[in-house]
Amino acid sequence: MSLPRFSTPGGTYMVTRTTANSLFLLAPSKVTNGIFEYCLARAAGQFGVLIHAVSVESNHYHMIVTDVRGELSECMQELNRTIARCLTKYLKQRYKRRIDTVWTTSQSFSAQLLVDRNMIIKKIAYVLTNPVKDGLVRDYRKWPGFNTRPGQWLQEERTAERPAYYFKRTDERIAFRVVAPRQLGDDLEVVTAAVEEYVRDEQAGHLRTLEHEGRSFLGVKRVLAVDPFSAPTTPRPEGNLNPHLAASTPQALQLAIKALRHFRLAYREAWEAFKRGEHAVFPGGTLLMRKRFKVPCDPCDTASWCELACA
């Protein structure tokens, strides 16, 4: 039995998805940015997912989101499906070339549960400064792809316009918000200022590293001129770990790992009973079996995954 994917209502995640063969299919443009924004606003609103931070690079994207109802998998399925539908239509019309798939088929999206406040801040900074770390622009705010900023947490709703591809009967405009994670506190101005400072420090660290390595930046003009059907000359590393959990201290991580092990042990016991035809109650957080076979599940104890690690 492969390791089960868990779902924690109220959990905050870093979510990542990569394009097929690392092609630059998400290369920044007004159309591509609009497609991503509309599909994200629609999927997040449909499944109750809160958006905290987003950065879309040319061949992958990162997001920090909170899975309010434990429906992150459905949200990501809808998001990636509709982006793929729109992009294939757009790229075929724009470049007269057909693509069979947008996303890598070697794995689905990656979702890493962020179990404490400091790790949430760290991953927000990682997501937003990714274009700087990759040597694309000197300032993440100059990145021409779809991205967000902490300052948007203080703003009112944004509006995403329906793209001219694939969608026909959906809303022409969808209102959505980029919000601060609840774990960071209630004083939005203080939280926003603190996270912005952390992001600036993270960006400064990337700049020092790139300068030390003697690397230059691609720049906005060259980014916008990228061929969507090209790919990096350096192959993506293979065999890297894809952890389910991230915490800012060894103690918090150990608590979260303990909770994950407890979940997997309980899941295995329920799975064995289910295979024998016996009544089986799966642990809270069970995803596939709950949705495919409607098995009964214990209540999901969000504290065992998130708040416990903050103690």
> Per-residue confidence at 310, pLDDT binned at 50, 70, 90?
very low
Tell me which of 4-18, 70-84, 159-173, 204-218 is least confident: 4-18
Q: Return the pLDDT at 239.
A: 54
| Average pLDDT for 73-98 | 94
Averaged pLDDT of the chain: 90
Which ranges in the chain belong to alpha helices (H)? 30-47, 72-95, 117-128, 130-133, 188-213, 220-224, 250-275, 288-293, 302-305
Q: Of 152-166, 221-235, 286-300, which one has max mean pLDDT?
A: 152-166
- CB contact at 8 A, 91 and 97: yes
Percent of the chain with pLDDT over 90: 74
Mean pLDDT to the nearest integer, 65-74: 91
The yes-or-no verdict on residue 52 having pLDDT over 60 is: yes
Q: Above 50 in pLDDT, residue 6? A: yes
- Helix or strand (DSSP H, E) at 167: none
Domain 11-230 class, CATH top level:
alpha beta
Q: Find all residues with CB under 8 Å of 282, minimum gap 6, and list them.
A: 266, 267, 270, 271, 274, 289, 290, 295, 296, 297, 298
- Return the minimum-mean-pLDDT range out of 175-189, 233-247, 281-295: 233-247
Higher-confidence residue of 307 and 124: namely 124
> What is the per-residue pLDDT for 307?
45
Which is higher by pLDDT, 100 or 191? 191
- The pLDDT value recorded for residue 199 is 98
pLDDT given for residue 5 in this prediction: 63
| Domain locations in the chain as residue ranges | 11-230, 250-310
pLDDT over 60 (residue 2): no
22-36, 39-53, 149-163, 277-291: lowest mean pLDDT where? 277-291
pTM of the model: 0.91
DSSP-derived secondary structure for 241-265: ---SEE-SSHHHHHHHHHHHHHHHH
What confidence tens digit (pLDDT) does each residue in 125-154 have? 999 999 999 999 999 999 999 999 999 999
Sign of CA dihedral 75, 40, 228, 15: negative
Relative to beta strand 49-56, strand 158-161 is: unpaired
| Spatial distance between the Cα atoms of 89 and 100, rounded to a whole number of angstroms | 11
pLDDT above 70 coverage of the chain, percent: 92
> Tens of pLDDT along 232-260?
987 666 656 678 899 999 998 998 888 88
